[in-house]
Amino acid sequence: MPADLSIIIPVYNRQAFVVDAVRSATVQAQRNCQVIVVDDGSIPPLGDLVASVGAPIEYVYQEHRGLAAARNIGLHRAAGEFVVFLDSDDLLSEETATIHMEHLRRHWAASCVYSRWTVINEYGAHLKSDGKDLADHVLPILLYTNIAPLHAFMFRIATVRQCGGFDECLESCEDWDLLLRLALSRHVFTYTSDAGAFYRVHSESMTSAVETMLRSSIRVIDRAFSDYRVPTEWQFLRNVAHALQHLSAAAALTEQGRANAGECLRLAFRSMTSVLKDQTTPSCIEIETARVTDDLSASRLHNCSILQSAHKRLRDSVRAWVRGGVVES
């Protein structure tokens, strides 16, 4: 039966959080809503746990194939005009679906809409809020960083299908990859501050798998920059993106006391050196990159906070350049 909205929830061994995620989908104010839970080989299967929510839910079980494959299974079964991809440890606020749907119906040329989100811990306590309207500069920003958690978006389902869904060869960052492909195809992104979502951080979250995230992010970046639709004058952002990913990984690995943090930092230095050597790098980014490089070189102690600060300074300098009107897409 056709629905206005499909909410797809992939899950793999997330017994502690999945019920809350499913419940946040089933209580959406938008009533003509299809909720699909794709169990990606959980042991034991989570069908009974999901059914305990007590609401109409389509439950699908498959052998473990990964997050991208689970989302694609849900996408294949979805009957909605619009679609939301909600991870099994995250939450939607009650009015999110209605607000996003109304927004897309008013903005007929837009392929997706996203909004602010709140970071919460494993107990649901609020840590911080994030999310800015970057829709006017979405492609250059996506070329060096993701802009929002996937469940902060609502998509027209036809757009996601036309774009081929999620790349099942990626271990992670398949959401960033999808957004990049949409942006490269000139799909229109929009933003609303009226809705919200909740992004949970905890010890089992994908963001804690640092090496996997780094490996996949570099693959996503390199594939994007090999696309002929990326303007030549933006190619310097490739080295910026590499530097940012390696600085972020170095900070996370340093916090975990991992020995390979030093190798990530070395690769970050190499990428920042390439940024400085690139004659197309804008002067404002070149100056801040040089300062970050000098400060890190002068510091004998590279703790997590120093590396996070370096990452933020470099990222903010690029974002300021993009949003300052220098980039024309």
| pLDDT tens sequence across 90-137 | 999 988 999 999 999 999 999 999 999 999 999 989 999 898 898 889
Q: In terms of domains, do 179 and 322 share one?
A: no
* Whether 14 and 67 share a structural domain: yes
The verdict on 190 and 61 lying in the same domain is yes
Residue 146, domain CATH: 3.90.550.10
**200, 223, 243: which is the final residue of a domain?**
200
| Final residue of a structural domain among 156, 177, 200 | 200
Question: Per the domain annotation, does 210 fall within a domain?
Answer: no
d(CA 275, CA 52): 53
Inter-axis angle of helices 261-277 and 283-298, to 10 degrees?
Answer: 140
Q: What is the CA radius of gyration of the chain?
A: 20
Domain, as residue range, for 101 = 3-200
116 to 113, 197, 307: CA distances (angstroms): 11, 7, 26
Check pLDDT > 70 for residue 30.
no
* 207, part of any domain: no
pLDDT digit string (tens) for 297-317? 988 678 899 999 999 999 999
Q: Are residues 83 and 156 in the same domain?
A: yes
Q: Which residue has the higher pLDDT, 25 or 55?
A: 25
In a domain, 9, yes or no: yes
Both 80 and 172 in a single domain? Answer: yes
- pLDDT band per the 50, 70, 90 thresholds, residue 8: very high
Tell me what the pLDDT averaged over the chain comes to.
Answer: 92
Whether 185 and 246 share a structural domain: no
Least Cα distance to 19 among 43, 40, 42, 47 occurs for 47
Answer yes or no: is 43 within a domain: yes
Q: Is the pTM of the predicted complex or chain greater than 0.85?
A: yes
Does residue 211 form part of some domain?
Answer: no
pLDDT confidence band for 327 (50 / 70 / 90): very low
pLDDT, one tens digit per residue, over 253-281 is: 998 888 899 999 999 999 999 999 999 99
Answer whether residue 219 is part of any domain: no
Shared-domain flag, residues 272 and 150: no
* Residue 203, pLDDT score: 73
Does residue 20 sit in the same domain as residue 151?
yes
Task: Let me know whether 272 and 187 are in one domain.
Answer: no
Domain boundary among 200, 215, 244: 200
Range name among 2-6, 71-75, 245-249 with the lowest pLDDT average: 2-6
Provide the pLDDT confidence category of residue 1 given band limits of 50, 70 and 90: low
Do 115 and 157 share a structural domain?
A: yes
- Do residues 74 and 113 both lie within one domain? yes
- Looking at the predicted structure, is the pLDDT value of residue 28 above 70? yes
DSSP character for 13? S
Total structural domains within the chain: 2
The CA distance from 269 to 137, in Å, is 27
The alpha-helical segments, DSSP class H, found in 143-282 are: 157-162, 174-184, 210-225, 237-255, 261-277
Q: Report pLDDT for 216.
A: 96
SS percent in the chain: helix, strand, coil, step 5: 50, 20, 35
Q: Given this model, what pLDDT does residue 299 score? A: 80
CB atoms within 10 A of CB 112: 24
- 225 within domain boundaries: no
Please tell me whether residues 73 and 139 are part of one structural domain: yes
Q: Is residue 50 part of a domain?
A: yes
